[in-house]
Structure 1
């Protein structure tokens, strides 16, 4: 199974005994939208709802930090997401949050994980079937194996600020990167990590919400000033859209990318970290 699958492919695979479809929609605080309510209203047949706001490290004051292995395994088992299954993740969010679920599943050891190209938006535009409500789920066994090598923390990022050997790439909208627009979370300053590049995650998508591919995708990184030959750290507001940049790099065959899990929610609220404003 490819990392990116089409709506046509998924429509042909629905009902396969080893296939699990996952709705990983999430929204920014204050958006006025409720991902779980929207899932229960309509979703791809057979999909389960992966609550990215709840599958977190509840001991951390930061949003969306990776949970402990035991908690992740417990949540996956409750959702019927077990070892050996093929997972297809989609969303219906401007944050393209399926990429975060894809990254989390892979980071905890899942082998067969794909993102649905175009998400629910494209699925609906094509008139494909939907269902509503919640569903009975048969528990499955998930064996977590957390790969810490793909996760960057505050100390790691602090050590590569202004490094010519690395790239730090920020997925937030440009006005938040420059500090012109306030952050959606209280207590978080505006601006960006010094030396980082601004690549809003929306730049990786075509007008129909499908992923850019090949030269068009590569050009999005290059136009942002990102040197793809260097190891990269992806960051954003809370580690969700950073996964979009990481998945985009993956589509280009680039795997030397870490995700800064604390992202700007951590960096921007820490008085000891250096901060920059304006364009990069």
Structure 2
């Protein structure tokens, strides 16, 4: 069976609608919800919304909170092992013969996180649906409810690719001037400045520039900026000429959205700092900058 080729890491709703039902395609809903409680906001699986509110016809559901995270990780959404990624992906019907289109019901960052996980694991054919579920519904396209049984997966060959991830040691070397790379914070401007945030220590890692996830998304259509508009928005990341860009946020989710945008803008050496500020801010010896 010939593989279904994806035109870019971002596909349109038109492209997907024309190919729904193709045996070579697996569509994945990767939504996660933020809910407010008396104890503060927390993450909630998007499964109920997928089942009851509806999903793209034929889409299966990917669980970021459990299956595509390391349950033993110190922080939420710690990236899982290669073996765990392979098992979770095969349970969705993903194997060497299919291409994958992933979406979410937010700004695309949950979809981008799954794109990043699978791409870093060597899976070659995955794209994010531009505009996600919101655009799909706004265009009046069909929605299914209930559970979608995944296809039976065959062999899935994964092998970790270097360069996709940065760790605490690398970020420390960048801050200390021992590594030539740019640091990008994908959080909102107010969190970057240290005015808001839920961690006990606020602010940003020294030397960072701010490219919020929301700034690379058209808020009305939920589609990603492209062309010159995208190039101008991500320009601060390359202003210093560093060959490598490391993107972080709170827990490595929004960072995946901004990191994917940087790759789409033509920057090949982009990494996500998986621990992000959840890890950095937890160490009182590591510096954080606030802007009055």
Cα distance in 2 for partners of 1:13, 1:175 equals 41
Q: Deviations over 1:194-231 (max 9, x none)?
A: 11111111100123111110110011122x46527421
Cα distance in 2 for partners of 1:274, 1:105 equals 32
Cα distance in 1 for partners of 2:267, 2:273 equals 17
Which of residues 180, 184, 187 is equivalent to 1:165? 180
Contact 2:45 2:63 in 1 (8 A): no
Partner of 1:44: 56
Q: Are 2:234 and 1:221 equivalent residues in the alignment?
A: yes
Which of residues 200, 203, 218 is equivalent to 1:191? 203
Instruction: Select between 228-237 and 66-75 the one with higher mean Cα deviation.
Output: 228-237
For structure 1, the residue ranges without an aligned partner over 5 or more in a row are: none
Contact 1:109 1:147 in 2 (8 A): yes
- The structure that is strand-richer by fraction is 2
Partner of 1:11: 17
Partner of 1:35: 46
Over 6 Å off, 4+ runs: none
Cα distance in 2 for partners of 1:272, 1:263 equals 15
Contact 1:197 1:226 in 2 (8 A): no
Give the 3-state SS of the residue equivalent to 1:97 in structure 2. Answer: helix
Cα distance in 1 for partners of 2:50, 2:262 equals 29
Cα distance in 1 for partners of 2:148, 2:174 equals 46
Query: After superposition, where does 1:222-261 map in structure 2 within 5 Å?
Result: 222=235, 224=236, 226-227=238-239, 229-230=241-242, 231-261=244-274
- Aligned pair count? 275
Contact 2:206 2:288 in 1 (8 A): yes
Instruction: Select between 21-30 and 125-134 the one with higher mean Cα deviation.
Output: 21-30
- Cα distance change, pair 18–257 in 1 and its aligned pair in 2 (3 A): same
- Residue 139 of structure 1, CA deviation: 3.1
Q: Are 2:151 and 1:145 equivalent residues in the alignment?
A: no
Cα distance in 2 for partners of 1:225, 1:151 equals 17
Partner of 2:3: none
Give the 3-state SS of the residue equivalent to 2:33 in structure 1. Answer: coil
For structure 2, the residue ranges without an aligned partner over 5 or more in a row are: 1-5, 36-40
Q: Are 2:142 and 1:129 equivalent residues in the alignment?
A: yes
- Residue 234 of structure 1, CA deviation: 0.6
Which of residues 74, 78, 87 is equivalent to 2:91? 78
Q: Deviations over 1:167-199 (max 9, x none)?
A: 10011111111111122x5xx421110111111
Cα distance in 1 for partners of 2:180, 2:81 equals 31
Partner of 2:114: 101
TM-score scaled by structure 1?
A: 0.92
Instruction: Select between 161-170 and 193-202 the one with higher mean Cα deviation.
Output: 161-170
Contact 1:26 1:95 in 2 (8 A): no
Which of residues 166, 190, 195 is equivalent to 1:175? 190
- Cα distance change, pair 12–229 in 1 and its aligned pair in 2 (3 A): farther
- Residue 131 of structure 1, CA deviation: 0.3
TM-score scaled by structure 2?
A: 0.89
